[in-house]
Structure 1
Amino acid sequence: MAEHRTRRPLIGVTAGTARMMSGAWEGHDAVVLTEHYVTALRAAGARPVILAPQDRWSDEEVAELDAVVLTGGTDLDPESYGELPDGTGFTPDPERDAFEIALFHAARNAGVPVLGVCRGLQIIAVATGGTLLQHLPRDLPAHPVTGERITAVDVEIDAASDLALAVGTRAVVQAFHHQGVASHGEDLRVVARHASGLALALEAAEGSPVLAVQWHPELDDREAEGDGIFAALVSAAALRAPARTVDGASTPVV
Structure 2
Amino acid sequence: MSKPLIGISTYLEHARWGVWGMTAALLPAAYPRLVQAAGGLAAMVPPDAPSCAAGVVARLDGLVVAGGADVEPVRYGAEPDARTGPPARERDAWELALIEAALASGTPLLGICRGMQLLNVALGGTLVQHLDGHTAGPGVLGEHAVEPVPGTRYASVVPEESGVPTYHHQAVDRLGDGLVVSAYAADGTPEAVELPGGPWVLGVQWHPEMGHDLRVMEALVAAAAGRLSLREPELRV
Q: 1: distance between equivalents of 2:198 and 2:221?
A: 17
Contact 2:53–2:97 at 8 Å: present in 1 too? no
Residue number in structure 2 paired with 1:184: 175
Partner of 1:64 in structure 2? Answer: 59
Offset of residue 85 of structure 1: 1.2
1:37 alignment partner AA = Y
Structure 2 CA distance for aligned equivalents of residues 244 and 212 of structure 1: 27
Mapping for residues 20-31 of structure 1, pairs under 5 Å: 20-21=15-16, 23-26=18-21, 28-31=22-25
**How many positions carry a matched residue from both structures?**
233
- Structure 1 gaps, min length 5: 1-5, 138-143
Alignment partner for residue 240 of structure 1, among 211, 227, 233? 227
Shift of 1:65: 1.1
Larger Rg: 1
TM-score, with structure 1 as normaliser:
0.86
Structure 1: distance between partners of 2:145 and 2:116: 18
CA distance 1:42–1:84, shift in 2 (3 Å) = same
Amino acid at match of 1:105: E
Q: What's the % identity of the aligned pairs? A: 37
Which residue does 1:3 correspond to in 2?
A: none
Matches within 5 A, 1:45-60: 45-54=39-48, 56=50, 57-60=52-55
One-letter amino acid matched to 2:28: T
Q: Is the 8 A contact 1:113 1:236 kept in 2?
A: yes
Residue identity in the other structure for 1:34: P
Larger helix share, 1 or 2 = 2
Kept in 2, the 8 Å contact 1:188–1:202? The answer is yes
Q: 1:111 aligns to what?
A: 106
SS state at 2:20 partner: coil
Pick one of 64, 86, 93 that aligns with 2:88: 93
TM-score (norm 2): 0.92
Range moving further from structure 2, 53-62 or 234-243: 53-62
Where 2:43 maps in the other structure, the secondary structure is strand
Conserved 8 A contact 2:126-2:176: no
Q: Which residue of 2 aligns with 1:229?
A: 216
